Amino acid sequence: MDARDTELKKELNVTLQARRELGEEYESALVDSFLEKVDQRIDGAVERRLRRQFAERQMVVARGSRSPKATDSWGERFGFGIVSLVLAIPLSAIGGALGHLPGLFAAWAGIVGVNAFQAVRTNPGLFGGLRRRSAEDGDWKD
């Protein structure tokens, strides 16, 4: 566990303690505040990853090579799935508490959408992978 994980865990503990002390009427504000911190953390991680990928592409262009291969490993996909499931718990609770059944459906629609996007990004043609036959040569084309 790195320092950022420890910091986020401390923030969660502080939020939970404040919830116990302040009561239910402040729950929404406390959850929003904590989620804002999580969102900032995710934004920072995405920004670092984008900077790294941009730098890698610049290196490839500078060397005159082709574009880099996809760097998604099994570990990255597995990690994305785990993070998605872990975040699904509070998102389901918040969606269900604030919006009841429609809120729960909206939360899960977002979760499924993000995972579908990630699946298509890492496996192009996953959902649109139907093959069609060329009229000229009779061969199957992707």
Whether 92 and 104 have beta carbons less than 8 Å apart is answered as yes
Domain segments of the chain as ranges: 1-69, 70-125
Neighbouring C-beta atoms of residue 15, cutoff 10 Å: 17
**Distance separating the N- and C-terminal Cα atoms of the chain:** 44
Residue showing tokens 């990630």: 118
pLDDT mean across residues, the chain? 80
Neighbouring C-beta atoms of residue 91, cutoff 10 Å: 19
Q: How far apart, in Å, are the Cα atoms of 19 and each of 22, 24, 131?
A: 5, 7, 55
What is the model's pLDDT at position 142? 45
- 16-43 pLDDT per residue, tens: 888 888 888 888 888 888 888 888 888 8
Note if the pTM is more than 0.75.
no
- 69-92 pLDDT per residue, tens: 455 577 788 888 889 989 999 989
